[in-house]
Amino acid sequence: MNRRIRIFAAACIAATAGLALWAPANAQQKVLKFIPQADLRILDPIATTAYITRNHGYMVYDTLFAMDEKFQVKPQMVDKVETSKDLLTYTFTLRDGLKFHDGAPVRSADCIASIDRWGKRDALGQKLAESTESWTAVNDMTFRLKLKKPFPLALEALAKPSSNVPFIMPERIAKTDPFKNIEDPTGSGPFRMVKAEWVPGNKVIYVKNTDYVPRKEPASWASGGKVVKVDRVEWIYIPDSAIAAAALNAGEADWWEQMPPDLIPLLTKNKDITVKNIDPLGSMGMMRFNFLHPPFNNPKMRQALLYAVNQQDYVIGIAGDPKNGKPCYSYYTCGTPLASEISAEPLKGARNFEKAKQLIKESGYKGERIVIIDATDQPIVHAQSLLTLDMLKKLGLNAEVQAGDWGTLITRRAVKEPVEKGGWSIFHTWLVGPDMVNPAVNFPIRGTGDKAWFGWPTDTKIEELREAWFNASDAAASKKAASAVQQRAFEFVPFIPTGQFILPTAFRSNISGVIIAPIAFLWNIEKK
Amino acid sequence: MAVVALFVFSLLYLTPGDPAAVIAGDAATSEDIKRIRAGLGLDEPFLVRFGGWVWALMHGDLGVSIFTNLPVTHLIGQRVEPTLALTLCTLLISVLVAVPLGVIAAARAGSWTDRAVMAFSVLGFSLPVFVFAYILISVFSIELGWLPVQGYRNFGENSFWDWLRHLILPSIALGTVYIALIARMTRASMLDVLAQDYIRTAQAKGLAPVPVLVGHALKNAAIPIMTIIGIGIALLISGAIVTETVFAIPGIGRLTVDAILRRDYPVIQGVTLLFSAIYVVINLMVDLSYMLFDPRIRY
């Protein structure tokens, strides 16, 4: 061999070996690789209700209060709270040692600014703000809430577990317009986001916040000690479910937050993987109507569908296996204190198509086009849309599905025009269990017309009953008032619940300490 | 480029979808969406928005992503390396495999080797990239455990081998169509050249088959092959979108798809302009490369 060629070959081998042997400095770190349910795009948990942003919020922020697994409100950042006898004044004192990721201490001013911003976007926050006279800082560690009138849900509001969660941010960030996204993820939570390593659409990196002082109590939902047992968490977004399953199987990921039911058999074959339902509340599917135009501006048409919807079909359509869901004949999440089957007779039991057809006839339906807007990239929405189309056809209605993607659906559902001008009649979606536990957070139930959720129902009666629920003085009164709201809902039919389902989670056997909760919390997790 | 800019902006303006609705989330009301739209300036007239975008573009500013609040140039910058690595790796594999295959098929035209190469080409054209990708993952990642299922490592982040092993399966999956295309074109072009008098003369002078094929035939057949390699890079970029999605590689292709699904207008506009610029540069380079292979060509 030519001498020059031999020297070149030797140099190539040496360079390759050098590169191959070069290893990163942080190889000894405990890294939890987590496949989240969606891609994190927006960092502001107040500007959006997206669940992935809420979950990011739980990583980097902390809350004043939090709800435990028994639906009890527990102090989190707050050390103690004093309530005046007239229930008009709450004085909060913060725990010692709370610090933001930039090293600044958490002060009363930060908490007040954060709650103020949250109160401008969140429905329950707005309700609290309506009753609020003032928030004042007594000193850096103590602040006071003064109410105009008693608001029994004040602490529950501050412990709201799902979107929008009243996370505490530094005052300088919390002063941002609530309709504008914040860019700085500085919080005081158990993890710190490494923004420089964030690749939207691919990965989000969090490291343990070594300054975080966890509470002493055991972790229970979002309350208790948020003890971080790994050094680094990598959220790896994998858009293709089959590839996510393969990555978990191959050990390239430790935990897959939410998996489609059809992949359960594939993963349960692997003895190193646990497939589990860790969400005690699941999610609720729903069919939403457009109340502005025929035929669903007529209550009889909506009532007719109550007699035809078979929740069992929807649960199987969404969750694949009856084990992953169940019918829920309530406007509140089944398994929570206010859920009941009061007035649910039209929705449960054997389906009565004859009764449905009779109501349709009584409604004076004249064959108007019914447009179901569908998002084929969202399996939960798509399955419901197809089932509803089939049901409407069986009822002899002039129905059609207009398919698009989720981005198109959420734009189109804001159109108030009739179907001939690009409007719609029905769309489907779902909410996580905590978003439907009571009349305060259950926003689709509301009847505030133009200000209501898409579909824009107007129902002053349900609003009055909801208001009465807010004023309920004890648990029994609260249950009674909530039942009255549900009774009215089954008459007015703001939407039809299509069942309760759970999307299981899957993790490898080297992971322990997974918290049973409606949200995948990443503290308390140990990796062997 | 100016035409592309106007076309893309107009198309996005007319396409249904509203990023404000995506930002607001499922629970937002129409009022919330309206306020977010106003905050983003999406309620302004077409000409005002287009004028603002062009003005910023002239100052080298592609804007800021509506969702992440990160500059579009930053987002593109994050994604260039994986796409570049994937494209170059694919190009390298494709050319190294396809050109010899095409030359051998032409040299043995009508034989079983030729038929096998052509059968492979038909298969390569017919098999969708994502199907082949799943097959590769199933065999080499899941069954044999030799290569990773997904992901990408930046060059220098870990070892060289770690970087390379993340590119092998995606490059093979993406390269199959390309190999098929170049192999067919090389064969056709070589057959044409091999029928020329000067090849017969070279053979009659007693030159060995390999110098005739490589030194005389392949050099003269190179222009159509270079053209198809250039056109193929366009195929690679569109194929990379699927490959990057299947293998969860954070490249430009996935950035484009994600931006379209969310209606992240500044990102879509920025990426489309980048693609059109790449096409212009590639075509220019292909045209210039003709001069290397054929001294008669001058510009």
Confidence of residue A27 (pLDDT cuts 50, 70, 90): low
Q: Average per-residue pLDDT in chain A? A: 92
Query: Residue B7: CB partners within 8 Å, gap ≥ 6?
Result: none
Q: Roughly what angle, to the nearest 10 degrees, separates helices B219-246 and B129-136?
A: 70
Say if the Cβ atoms of B65 and A181 lie within 8 Å.
no
The answer to whether the CB of B246 falls within 8 A of the CB of A240 is yes
Query: Residue A202: CB partners within 8 Å, gap ≥ 6?
Result: A236, A237, B248, B250, B254
ipTM of the complex: 0.82
Write down the pLDDT at residue A25.
Answer: 45
Say if the Cβ atoms of B67 and A42 lie within 8 Å.
yes
What are the structure tokens assigned to B243, written together? 């490959």
In angstroms, the CA B244 to CA B254 distance is: 6
Write down the pLDDT at residue B19.
Answer: 84
Write down the pLDDT at residue A1.
Answer: 42
Percent of chain A with pLDDT over 70: 95
Write down the pLDDT at residue A26.
Answer: 52
Q: A8 pLDDT exceeds 80? A: no
In angstroms, the CA B218 to CA B194 distance is: 9
- Chosen for mutation from B14, B18, B23, B26 (greatest number of chain A CBs closer than 10 Å) is B26
Minimal Cβ distance to B27: which of A242, A408, A443? A443
Q: Average per-residue pLDDT in chain B? A: 88
Q: What sign has the CA pseudo-torsion A304, A310, A314, A319?
A: positive
| Contact residues, A window 87-106, toward B, CB-based 8 Å cutoff | none
Radius of gyration over every alpha carbon of chain A, rounded to an integer in angstroms: 26
Minimal Cβ distance to A240: which of B30, B245, B262? B245
Shortest distance between the Cα of B39 and any Cα of chain A, in A, equals 7
Query: Residue B112: CB partners within 8 Å, gap ≥ 6?
Result: none
Say if the Cβ atoms of A180 and B39 lie within 8 Å.
yes
Among B25, B1, B32, B98, smallest CA distance to A44 is for B25
Say if the Cβ atoms of A443 and B151 lie within 8 Å.
no
Among A444, A439, A429, A435, smallest CA distance to A519 is for A435
Shortest distance between the Cα of B157 and any Cα of chain A, in A, equals 7
In angstroms, the CA A195 to CA A406 distance is: 27
| Contact residues, B window 37-96, toward A, CB-based 8 Å cutoff | 39, 65, 67-70, 75, 78-79
Write down the pLDDT at residue A19.
Answer: 47
Give residue-wise pLDDT tens across range B205-258: 888 888 888 888 888 888 888 888 887 777 777 778 889 989 999 999 899 988
The answer to whether the CB of B252 falls within 8 A of the CB of B79 is yes
In angstroms, the CA A174 to CA A110 distance is: 7
Write down the pLDDT at residue A333.
Answer: 97
Percent of chain A with pLDDT over 90: 82
What residues of chain B lie within 8 A of the CB of A451, using their CB?
29, 31
Say if the Cβ atoms of A451 and B29 lie within 8 Å.
yes
Q: Which residue has the tokens 């950042």?
A: A77
Q: B291 pLDDT exceeds 90? A: no
Write down the pLDDT at residue B1.
Answer: 73
Write down the pLDDT at residue B203.
Answer: 87
Q: B294 pLDDT exceeds 80? A: no
In terms of DSSP H, where are the helices of A195-348? 241-249, 264-268, 299-308, 311-319
List, in sequence order, every residue forming a beta bridge with A207; answer none if it has no partner. A192, A232
- Chosen for mutation from A243, A267, A380, A416 (greatest number of chain B CBs closer than 10 Å) is A243
Return the percent helix, strand and coil in chain A, to nearest 5.
35, 20, 45
Percent of chain B with pLDDT over 90: 38
Q: A384 pLDDT exceeds 90? A: yes
Write down the pLDDT at residue A6.
Answer: 56
Write down the pLDDT at residue A282.
Answer: 93
Mean pLDDT of B120-145: 91
What residues of chain B lie within 8 A of the CB of A495, using their CB?
none
What are the structure tokens assigned to B254, written together? 């996935």
List, in sequence order, every residue forming a beta bridge with A80; answer none if it has no partner. A93
Give residue-wise pLDDT tens across range A386-435: 999 999 999 999 999 999 888 788 888 989 999 999 999 999 999 999 99
Please state, as a whole number, how many other Cβ atoms lie within 10 Å of the Cβ of residue A460. Answer: 10
Mean pLDDT of B116-134: 91
The answer to whether the CB of A272 falls within 8 A of the CB of A288 is no
Minimal Cβ distance to A252: which of B22, B151, B161? B151
Write down the pLDDT at residue B280.
Answer: 86
The answer to whether the CB of A124 falls within 8 A of the CB of A440 is yes
Q: Does the beta carbon of A202 lie under 8 angstroms from any beta carbon of chain B?
A: yes
Shortest distance between the Cα of B169 and any Cα of chain A, in A, equals 13
Shortest distance between the Cα of B118 and any Cα of chain A, in A, equals 32
Q: What sign has the CA pseudo-torsion A312, A314, A320, A323?
A: negative
What are the structure tokens assigned to B55, written together? 């003005």
| Position with higher pLDDT, A457 vs A28 | A457
Q: What sign has the CA pseudo-torsion B138, B141, B145, B150?
A: negative
Shortest distance between the Cα of B237 and any Cα of chain A, in A, equals 18
Decide: helix, strand or coil at residue A389. helix
Say if the Cβ atoms of B67 and A22 lie within 8 Å.
no
Give residue-wise pLDDT tens across range A179-230: 888 999 999 999 999 999 999 999 999 999 999 999 999 999 999 999 999 9
Confidence of residue A20 (pLDDT cuts 50, 70, 90): very low
Tell me, what amino acid is at B274?
L
Decide: helix, strand or coil at residue A164. coil
Q: Which residue has the tokens 């619940």?
A: A497
Give residue-wise pLDDT tens across range B174-209: 999 889 989 999 999 999 999 889 888 988 888 888
In angstroms, the CA A377 to CA B293 distance is: 49
Write down the pLDDT at residue A408.
Answer: 82
The answer to whether the CB of B158 falls within 8 A of the CB of A24 is yes
Minimal Cβ distance to A20: which of B29, B35, B161? B161
In angstroms, the CA B218 to CA B211 distance is: 10
What residues of chain B lie within 8 A of the CB of A200, using their CB?
65, 67-68, 70, 75, 258
Write down the pLDDT at residue A7.
Answer: 54
Confidence of residue A14 (pLDDT cuts 50, 70, 90): low
Write down the pLDDT at residue A244.
Answer: 94
Give residue-wise pLDDT tens across range B11-35: 777 777 788 888 888 778 888 888 8
Say if the Cβ atoms of B27 and A453 lie within 8 Å.
yes
Q: What sign has the CA pseudo-torsion B263, B265, B267, B271?
A: positive
Radius of gyration over every alpha carbon of chain B, rounded to an integer in angstroms: 24
In angstroms, the CA A12 to CA A92 distance is: 67
Shortest distance between the Cα of A202 and any Cα of chain B, in A, equals 6
- Chosen for mutation from A31, A376, A410 (greatest number of chain B CBs closer than 10 Å) is A410
Q: A310 pLDDT exceeds 60? A: yes
Q: A5 pLDDT exceeds 60? A: no
Among A522, A518, A516, A521, smallest CA distance to A502 is for A518
Among A47, A49, A98, A43, smallest CA distance to A76 is for A98
